Amino acid sequence: MNVVELKNISKSFGNSLANDSIDLAVKRGEIHCLLGENGAGKTTLMKILFGLYSQDQGSILINGAEVEIKSPRQAIELGLGMIHQHFMLVGRLTVTENIIAGREPRRGILIDYAEGMRQVKELTATYQLSVNPGARVEDISIGEQQRVEILKALYRQAEILILDEPTAVLTPQETGELFAVLKKLKESGKTIIFITHKLKETMAISDRVTILRDGKKVATIATSATSPTELARLMVGREVILRVKKAAAMVGKTVLQADHLTYYHKKNNRQLEQLSFVIKAGEILGVAGVEGNGQQELEELITGLSRNSQGKIFFKGKDISSWSIRERRYAGIGHIPSDRLKRGLIPDFNLEKNLILGSEWQQPYARKGFLDYKVIRENSKVIIERFRIKTSGSQALVQDLSGGNQQKVIIGRELRREPELIVAAQPTRGVDVGAIEYIHKLLLKMREEGKGVLLISAELDELLSLSDRLIVLYEGRIVASGNTVDFTEAELGLLMAGQGRGGVKNGPTE
Amino acid sequence: MVRLNKLKDQQGIIFNLLYSVVAIVIALLLGGILIYLSGHDPGKAYYHLVYGAFGNSYNLAQTLLNSTPLIFTGLAVAIGFQSGLFNIGGEGQLYWGALATAVTALTFPHLPGLILLPLALLAGALAGGCWGVIPGYLKARTGAHEVITTIMLNYIAILATTFLLRNYYKEAGPVDQTPLIAESARMAELIPFTRLSWAIFLGLAVVVLSDYLLKKTSIGYDIQAVGKNSAAAEYAGISVPGIYILTMGFSGAVAGLTGSTLVLGLFNRFITNFSPGYGFTGIAVAVLGRNRPWGVLLAALLFGALEAGGMSMQLYARIPADLMRIIQGLVILLVAAPAFIQLLVGSLLNRPGGGAK
Ligand SMILES: Nc1ncnc2c1ncn2[C@@H]1O[C@H](COP(=O)(O)OP(=O)(O)O)[C@@H](O)[C@H]1O
Ligand SMILES: [Mg+2]
């Protein structure tokens, strides 16, 4: 029995066709993944279902009856609930107030807050969605806020829940918790449509999966009958290597050495304590950890964005602790920053200008302070071609590129400088599968060429497949370090959560 | 909105020009209605407006004369804006420029013009530049907002120059002004009896130079990088505080030249309170000119023309001067209310709609 059936749905924005004659059938009580790269049209399709967009053509059937959904209110009445990519909660209000807003239980003309609280507690108990109904939303974690969104939908008696990339904002632990909740919801008979571009999640959670590519439906398959490799191929439209192969490390001299780095942040009290490690030529050192445990500080210290630390940093044997950012860049440190739009690019500069960011005083792009646009344009052409950046050309504004292509701009620019060490922070965050594969290959190529790579990532898969050695950061300390082959994913997860078995794997850091 | 922004990028300069022209036309239409409502004949009024601004060589010279200081002050604001700074201190900077220029010219009256003129200009630019560096430094060092500091520094500059004038450089007599500077230090008149000097060419030169600097040099690249995304500029190794100081110095120097050229080309002396707010009008000029050097030039010319035309409107069509100010205000308001006009231009270009319902 199909609870939701979309037939021949099309929707265009201006000239671009976001949805192209898409059919989708969702069975009652299943978890159905909607899988596709960024821009494939997943959100658009679900917004049509939820009454936020109107389709250009096609029809919607709920429980077998054709309906016209003109607004979210109507969608809610039909038993739909949508949890958006960006939460729609009021931070100053409590969890309960947020959940009951618009449908408050009343006593006379007054809102019966106590009754609301009771109902919310009942819901949290039924579905084991642990969250404190009296807490203010701004005080609770992102994972809890997401549960509030789910509760909001359940409170409105949603039978069909749509979640738009719900894991994008979660830590691995929170993702695990979310999956448990979703399974619980499924057991109690709810239907779930789960939007994602991550293969692993699709394999882990879904009963069936529908793949979208470039606005078209590619296939619907039972998850048990498919594999990540097949899904990746369907999603990208070509063969994708998920785990890039890497040759044995050929390590050379020490490129970078951090010696008892200790750092006190000015504003909040995040800190790094006594960090010591080395990176040798031809190896990738991975830094694992849940975000906010010192990764950003480490990134900033090595690249020179912040300098007031204790301890020393040596680059190719020289003490660079007090060097400026420019000095470090010129000396051969490349940087793929974790926040690419904030740090790595100037969104309303065009491509060719972004591609010389940091080199604008250097030959051959400039001579004695005068820019040579012929060389700059040539450089941009070379990088666009070599790194397969999809764009209308050198004059295109970087803000108009997709996330993956923006990342390629940064990587292309940094690698073009032929650095001896690259600090790659979250290099594949928010990037498509195809681009991830490519970025991984590039990092490995650097390694093969005898460069050092400091890979800071929140993706365990990435760390495990690329790094030669790992350090795990927890609350600003290295809680474990060793060769990557000595760690399992489960172990890493525990270490990242601060549950290391005191001193395990405190193997050699060099 | 996204669509319209895209549209704007696609059409670039053409769009901006078209957009500004539409804003001006609407302002003039509204102004016409006001003129009509106040019992005057809009046709006659606008005839005198246009004639007064461009009708003959004398009128044209008046337009250019009015535009000259605004080219400098507008540029000063636009340059600051390139690095993301809002320099409201043009007024103070131009007073220092004027005083330094006058004092230099008075101190070396026997130098030949070929040396004295550049020297006096340089002194003015330097003085304005130094005054601009102060808020730049405060911003770089302490994060003090440049809008606040430049406004405060305006008061100090105006009062301090008056103080210095009264105590050290004042000509005998009732008026607070310096003696006249030597003939050799004056900028020659371009058209006899119009008072229009070749200061306008200096303005043009600064426009060309700033444009070149911003587009074709590494330092210009750095300035714009800081203005557009200071975090990324920092990442790239650009010293953001250094750029703040430099840009404010440059901006102040250009503002200082406003004062210098007025002293050397128009008054031939320093007079207290000589500026009717050129520094502030420069903000409007920069906004209208989209903070680009050539845009500033066009905007300054428009302001000069409105000023000259307004004068003749007042004389020959008996339109109150206030109405002219209102029309100028309307132009700025409409340019500063982009959403509305963009919508209008968007539908004029007739792009098919799409998107959410
Ligand atoms: N409101 C909108 N206006 C214009 N284009 C849009 C809008 N929403 C989505 N698109 C375009 O439609 C396509 C599909 O987007 P979307 O449904 O958000 O993809 P996904 O959720 O799969 O990443 C993209 O090319 C996107 O740029
Ligand atoms: Mg989406």
Calculate how close chain B gets to A103, using CA atoms only, in Å: 25
Calculate how close chain B gets to A66, using CA atoms only, in Å: 21
Is ipTM strictly over 0.90? no
The set of residues, in sequence order, having a beta carbon less than 8 Å from that of B353 and lying 6+ positions away, is none
pLDDT at position A270: 59
- Amino acid identity at B330: L
pLDDT at position B338: 64
Cα B24 versus chain centre, distance: 18
pLDDT at position A420: 95
Domain extents for chain B? 41-318
Condensed to tens digits (0 to 9), the pLDDT of residues B25-75 reads 888 899 899 889 988 888 998 999 999 999 999 999 999 999 999 999 999
Residues B138-142: what's their mean pLDDT?
Answer: 93
Say yes or no for a CB contact (<8 Å) between B232 and A345.
yes
pLDDT at position B351: 43
Q: What is the DSSP string of B175-228?
A: S-BPPPPPGGGSPPBSSTTS--BTHHHHHHHHHHHHHHHHHHBHHHHHHHHHHH
Percent of chain B with pLDDT over 70: 90
With the C-alpha atoms ordered A118, A119, A122, A127, is the resulting torsion angle positive or negative? negative
The residue among A46, A327, A338, A360 with the most chain B CBs within 10 A of its CB, best to mutate, is A360
Say yes or no for a CB contact (<8 Å) between A342 and B238.
no
pLDDT at position B344: 63
pLDDT at position B5: 44
Calculate how close chain A gets to B207, using CA atoms only, in Å: 18
- Report the distance separating Cα B118 and Cα B184, nearest Å: 12
Q: Report how far ligand 2's centroid is from the alpha carbon of A356 (Å).
A: 31
- Report the distance separating Cα A323 and Cα A336, nearest Å: 19
Say yes or no for a CB contact (<8 Å) between A371 and B221.
yes
- For B57-90, letters b (16+ CB in 10 Å) and e give eebbbbbbbbbbbbbbbbbbbbbbbbbbbebbbb
pLDDT at position B357: 33
Residue A443 has a CB neighbour count (10 Å cut-off) of: 26
- Report the distance separating Cα A193 and Cα A153, nearest Å: 13
| Nearest CA owner, ligand 1 atom 26 | A39
Say yes or no for a CB contact (<8 Å) between A371 and B232.
no
Higher pLDDT, A505 or B223: B223
Q: Which atom of ligand 1 is nearest to the CA of A165?
A: 21
Q: Report how far ligand 1's centroid is from the alpha carbon of A390 (Å).
A: 17
pLDDT at position A74: 93
The set of residues, in sequence order, having a beta carbon less than 8 Å from that of A423 and lying 6+ positions away, is A299, A302, A303, A333, A334, A335, A336, A454, A456
Architecture of domain B41-318: Orthogonal Bundle (1.10)
Residue A113 has a CB neighbour count (10 Å cut-off) of: 15
Q: Tokens 């207290």 correspond to what residue? A: B272
Using CB atoms, pick whichever of B231, B237, B351 lies closest to residue A343: B231
| Nearest CA owner, ligand 1 atom 11 | A18
Using CB atoms, pick whichever of B218, B229, B237 lies closest to residue A369: B218
| Nearest CA owner, ligand 1 atom 18 | A43
A210 C-beta closer than 6 A to ligand 1: no
Residues on chain A touching B216 (C-beta within 8 angstroms): 370-371, 373
* Closest listed ligand to the CA of A36: 1
Using CB atoms, pick whichever of A52, A345, A349 lies closest to residue B356: A52
Closest CA to A330 of A255, A421, A453: A421
Q: How far lies B324's CA from each of B32, B73, B329, in Å?
A: 11, 21, 9
The set of residues, in sequence order, having a beta carbon less than 8 Å from that of A169 and lying 6+ positions away, is A142, A146
Mean pLDDT by 10 residues, chain A (510 residues): 93 89 94 90 94 94 93 93 87 90 83 88 87 88 88 92 87 85 93 92 94 93 93 86 73 91 70 90 92 88 88 94 95 92 91 95 94 95 90 88 88 93 91 85 92 92 92 91 88 81 47
Say yes or no for a CB contact (<8 Å) between B225 and A349.
yes
pLDDT at position A507: 46
Q: Report how far ligand 2's centroid is from the alpha carbon of A140 (Å).
A: 25
Q: Tokens 């530049």 correspond to what residue? A: B129
Residues B171-187: what's their mean pLDDT?
Answer: 88
Q: Which atom of ligand 1 is nearest to the CA of A42?
A: 22
- Amino acid identity at A206: S
pLDDT at position A358: 94
Q: Report how far ligand 2's centroid is from the alpha carbon of B28 (Å).
A: 46
Closest CA to A217 of A229, A205, A234, A230: A234
From A21-30, B52-61, B130-139, B343-352, the region with the lowest mean pLDDT: B343-352
- Report the distance separating Cα A340 and Cα A343, nearest Å: 5
Q: What is the DSSP string of A359-427?
A: TTTSTTTEETTEE-HHHHHHHHHHHHHHTT--SS-TTSBGGGS-HHHHHHHHHHHHHHT--SEEEEEST
Q: Report how far ligand 1's centroid is from the alpha carbon of B8 (Å).
A: 20
Calculate how close chain A gets to B226, using CA atoms only, in Å: 9
Condensed to tens digits (0 to 9), the pLDDT of residues B273-287 reads 999 999 999 998 998
Using CB atoms, pick whichever of B219, B237, B352 lies closest to residue A358: B237
With the C-alpha atoms ordered B336, B337, B343, B344, is the resulting torsion angle positive or negative? negative
Q: Which residues of A touch B (CB under 8 A)?
A: 12-14, 52-54, 303, 305, 324-330, 335, 337, 342-349, 353, 356-358, 360-361, 366, 369-371, 373, 397, 400
Residues B112-124: what's their mean pLDDT?
Answer: 94
pLDDT at position B9: 45
A18 C-beta closer than 6 A to ligand 1: yes
Give the domains, in start order, of chain A with CATH numbers: 2-236 (3.40.50.300), 254-332+419-505 (3.40.50.300)
Instruction: Give this prediction's pTM.
Output: 0.79
Say yes or no for a CB contact (<8 Å) between A344 and B9.
no
